[in-house]
Amino acid sequence: MRRSDTASRIIAAPRDVIYAALVDPEALRTWLPPEGMTGEILEFDPRPGGAFRMELRYPEAGHGKTTDNSDLVEAEFAELVPGERVVQLVRFRSDDPDFAGTMRMVWDLEPMPQGTRVIILAEDVPPGIRAEDHAVGLRSSLENLDRYVTTNAA
């Protein structure tokens, strides 16, 4: 059974700055990988119907779902609303059906007096991704995004 996971964070930056970090390949490579992982963008076409491919690498073998130390993420940009929303259809490649499949990721940007609330909604999460691990990964990516935009916008 698939589930939905969500996470949010208020970031002291305007929506357009955060949106730019969601649709820029170098920015995405920098902040999206959770703590302890690195990323490499293999393809990037930020338009509705366009896609990106990214390889996420673990520092140690035995954690990957695509290879022993990596996860290959393929995402289609389903919706792009500048300054407001990014919707991605994220496809995981794995021989294990518990880790394979398509997850819908919605990134909503809400203006706040302190900056922007970034809300992530992950729908149809593959059952092999433990809720606890996903929560840690989502929080880590939001922290990385916060660090990225506040450092690069200064």
The whole domain housing 108 covers: 3-33+77-152
Give me the CATH number covering residue 140.
3.30.530.20
Beta bridge partners of 10: 117
Tens of pLDDT, residues 8-42? 999 999 999 999 999 999 999 999 887 788 888 99
**Residue 122 falls within a domain, yes or no?**
yes
pTM for this entry: 0.87
Cα end-to-end span (Å), the chain: 44
User: Does residue 154 surpass a pLDDT of 80?
Assistant: no
Tell me if 122 sits within 8 A of 6, measured CB to CB. Answer: yes
**Residue 118 falls within a domain, yes or no?**
yes
**Residue 43 falls within a domain, yes or no?**
no
User: Does residue 111 surpass a pLDDT of 70?
Assistant: yes
Q: What's the number of domains the chain is made of?
A: 1
Phi then psi for 96, rounded to 5 degrees? -90, 115
**Residue 23 falls within a domain, yes or no?**
yes
**Residue 20 falls within a domain, yes or no?**
yes
**Residue 72 falls within a domain, yes or no?**
no
Tens of pLDDT, residues 34-90? 778 888 899 999 999 999 998 888 766 555 555 556 778 899 999 999 999 999 999
Phi/psi region, residue 138 (left: phi>0; alpha: psi -120 to 50; beta: rest), is alpha
Q: What are 47's two structure tokens?
A: 């338009």
